[in-house]
Structure 1
C-alpha cells in the first residue's frame, strides 16, 4: 500500500476484529528494527484508537513488543477513558429514563451506541460526548429535559466555564447545520469537567452546497431498542442500514467540509473503524439489495460510496461488491476533493493513504490555498467569533 510500518500497524491494531494473519503481521512489524515506537504512539492518539491498540496488545499477548514506559502511558489513558465512559453512561441512563417519562424516543448515535453494542465485550471506544437524533417535533421537549437536568445550551469558555448561546446564534446554527448548539453540563468529576449533549435533527450536513433532501422522519419508523432493559426505559437506535448511512455521513462530513479538514477531523481512523466494525457485526442484518435500491439515484449514494471506498482502502474489501457496484457514481473525481460547501471544490495533490497518516503533509497542502477562496467557511466561523 506504500505506507509506513507504523501506519500499517495502526490499521491492524486500530480495530477490534483481527485475523490470525494480522496478528502475525503485527508481530513482524514490531520486531522490525525500522519500526519507530514514538512515531506509532503519535499516530495512536492522533487517530483516537489508543483503546483499540491497548486491548489488542493485551488480548493477543503482544505487550512484550512495546517498552514498559509506553505501555504505562496506554494503561493510564485507557483506564481514564473507561472511567469517563462509565460516568457518561450514568448520564445516558438518566436521559433514557427521562425520555421514557415524557414518551419521546430519541435515537442514540455513534460512541454511546457503539460502546453499548458492538464494542461492549471488547472494550471502550473513545467517546467525547453524547450524540442524539431527535424528531424535529420533539426538539422542544428534549431540550426542556436537558435544561431540567442542568444542561446549558452554549459554548465552552475559559477554565471549563459555560458561555450561554444567544438566540441569534441558536437560530443561525440550526439553519446552517444538522444540529442544535450543544448542551453542556459542568461536573465535579476528575474524569471530565464538562459533558456535551449534541441534539441532531438530520443525519446529513445542511451546509451550503451540501444539503441532502432525505426523508428523516422515516428513519424513526424502523428504530430498534438496544439491549435487554425495561421496555418502559430503553435506549433506541436506528436500523442497521440506517446506522451505516449515519456513520458514513458523519465520516463524509468530517472528510470534505473545510472547517473539519482544518481541524484534522478528516484524518481520524476511529471513524473508519466504526464503519468497518459495525458492518462486520451487522452484515447479515442488512438487505443489501434493498439498501442499494433505496439510495441509488440519490445524493446519499455518493456519500455512502465515499465513506465505504476509503474504508476499504484501509481495511480491504468488507462490503458486498454487488452493493459497491450498484451505488458507484459515474464520476469519481469527488473522491479526492474537499471544501464541498464552497463554490469551488479543491483537489488533494497527496494520495489518500499518504495524507491520512501524515498530518503535517496534509496541513502543508491546505495552507498553500488562499483563505479568500473559502468564503462560506469564513462566513460561518466569523459569525461565532463575533459572539453576537
Structure 2
C-alpha cells in the first residue's frame, strides 16, 4: 500500500482518492494508516483551496480593468468545478498574447510581485539570463512571485504564458483562444469551455512529449488526465464538434488527439461522442501517444512500450528509441 500512497501523493490525487472512497462508503474497508494519510491529504487540500480563493481575489483586484485580453487557466478555474478538497494547485497560470505580456507583467510588478524562484522556501531573484531564456525557450515568463503568507501558500506564484507549446510564436493561436472568453464570479477572465479544454490538452501534450519534461519526471502527472476526465466524461456531441472545429482552426489537433486518447485509455471512457472525436483525431495523427521530441537536441524518439505500460513507470526514458532528427520523415 505504501507504493499506492506514493503514487497518489506524487500525482496529486490523494484528495480525490479520499473523497471517492468516502462517497462510495468504502473508507471502512481501507487500512487505517492509509485512510488517515489520505484524510490528511484531503484536509490539507481544503485549506490550500481556501488560500487559493484568497489569492484569486487578490489577482482579480490586480488585473481589474486591464485593457489587454488575458485568461486565467487550469487550477484557478478547476477548483470551482471539482468537489471540495479534490484539486490543488501550486501556482496561477495566465495566458495572453506575446505583445501583451508587458502589460500584465507591469500590473503584477506594481502589486509587489518579483520575478524569480522559490528555493529552500526562500525567494531567489531571477537573473537576466534566466528571464531571457524562459521567454525564448519555454513560451512563458519566469514566475512572478509575491510573499502572500496564506496557510499552505507562503508564496503566490504567477506564470504568464504566451505560447501553447515549448517555443515562442507570433501569437496567432493564443489570440484565437482568447476570443469569446468568459468571466468568473471573482471578476477574472478565462477561456470559453472548448478553448479551456484545448488548452489543457496542449499543456499536457507539451509536457508529455518533450524530452526535458520526461527527464524531470514531470511528463505524465495523473491529475492532468483527471482534469480532462472531469470535463469530458459527460461531454455532449455539440461540445465535441466545437472541440474539433476549434482544434483545427488553432492547429491543435495533435495535442487534442494525444490528450483524449490517453484519458480515454486511462479511465476506460465510454462516451460515444467523445470516442468518435478521438478516433477521428487519431486517424489524423497515427501513433500519437508514442512520439517524443527533444527540441534542444534536435532529435525525435518513440516509445517501445505502450501507453498503459509506461504511465506509472518511474523510468520512462529508458523505453525511448531515437528515430531521427526533428523535422525528418523517419517517423510519421
Same fold (TM over 0.5): yes
Which deviates the most, 302-311 or 121-130?
121-130
Q: Does 1:59 align with 2:23?
A: yes
1:172-213 C-alpha deviation (Å, 9 max, x unpaired): 211222211111223444513322111112233317xxx797
Say whether 1:166 aligns with 2:127: yes
CA contact (8 A) 1:296 1:327 kept: no
Residue 226 of structure 1 corresponds to 184
Tell me, yes or no, if the aligned pair for 1:152 and 1:183 is still in contact at 8 Å.
Answer: yes
Query: Which residue, 64, 88, 104 being the options, matches 1:100?
Result: 64
Aligned-pair CA distance for 1:50: 0.5
Partner of 1:354: 309
Deviation at 1:364, TM superposition (A): 4.6
CA–CA distance in 1 between the matches of 2:172 and 2:62?
A: 29
More helix by share: 1
CA distance in 1, matches of 2:170, 2:106: 28
Report if aligned partners of 2:214, 2:316 keep a CA contact under 8 Å in 1: no
Does structure 2 retain, via aligned residues, the 8 Å contact 1:85–1:124? no
Which position in structure 2 is the counterpart of 1:381? none
Q: What TM-score results when the alignment is normalised by the length of structure 2?
A: 0.86
CA contact (8 A) 1:301 1:329 kept: no
Q: Which residue of 2 aligns with 1:215?
A: 173
Asked which structure has the greater CA Rg, the reply is 1
Partner of 1:173, secondary structure, is helix
Is this contact kept in 2: 1:99–1:106, CA < 8 A? no
Partner of 1:125 in structure 2? 87
Aligned partner (choices 127, 140, 152) of residue 114 of structure 2: 152
Distance 1:187 1:280 in 2: 36
SS in 1 for 2:233: helix
Task: Tell me what 2:96 maps to.
Answer: 134
Give the length in aligned residue pairs: 322
Match of 1:89 in 2: 53
Structure 1: which 5+ runs fail to align?
Answer: 1-36, 376-388
Q: What is the CA distance between 1:272 and its match in structure 2?
A: 0.5
Asked if 1:303 corresponds to 2:255, the answer is: yes
TM superposition shift of 1:357: 1.6
Q: CA-to-partner distance for each residue in 1:38-81, whole Å, 9 max, x for gaps? A: 22212211221101001111122111121222222222222122
**Residue 201 of structure 2 aligns with which residue?**
248
Bigger RCO of structures 1 and 2 (CA < 8 A, at least 6 apart): 1
* Equivalent in the alignment of 1:336: 290
Give the superposition deviation at 1:340: 4.4
Contact residue 15 and residue 86 of structure 2 kept, 8 A = yes
1:386 aligns to what? Answer: none
The CA distance in 2 between the partners of 1:166 and 1:374, in whole Å, is: 32
| 1:263 Cα offset (Å) | 1.8
Structure 1 residues 212, 279: CA separation in 2 closer, same or farther (over 3 Å shift)? farther
* Alpha-carbon distance in structure 2 between the residues aligned to 1:168 and 1:130: 23
**CA-based RMSD:** 2.8
Q: TM-score, normalised by structure 1?
A: 0.75
Unaligned 5+ residue runs, structure 2?
327-332
Structure 1 residue ranges (4+ consecutive) displaced by more than 6 angstroms after TM superposition: none
Matches of 1:75 and 1:329, distance apart in 2 = 43
Go from structure 1 to structure 2 and tell me whether the alpha carbon gap of 1:71 and 1:294 turns closer, same or farther (over 3 Å shift): closer
Give the secondary structure class of the aligned counterpart of 1:328.
helix
Larger strand proportion of the pair: 2
Distance 2:200 2:217 in 1: 18
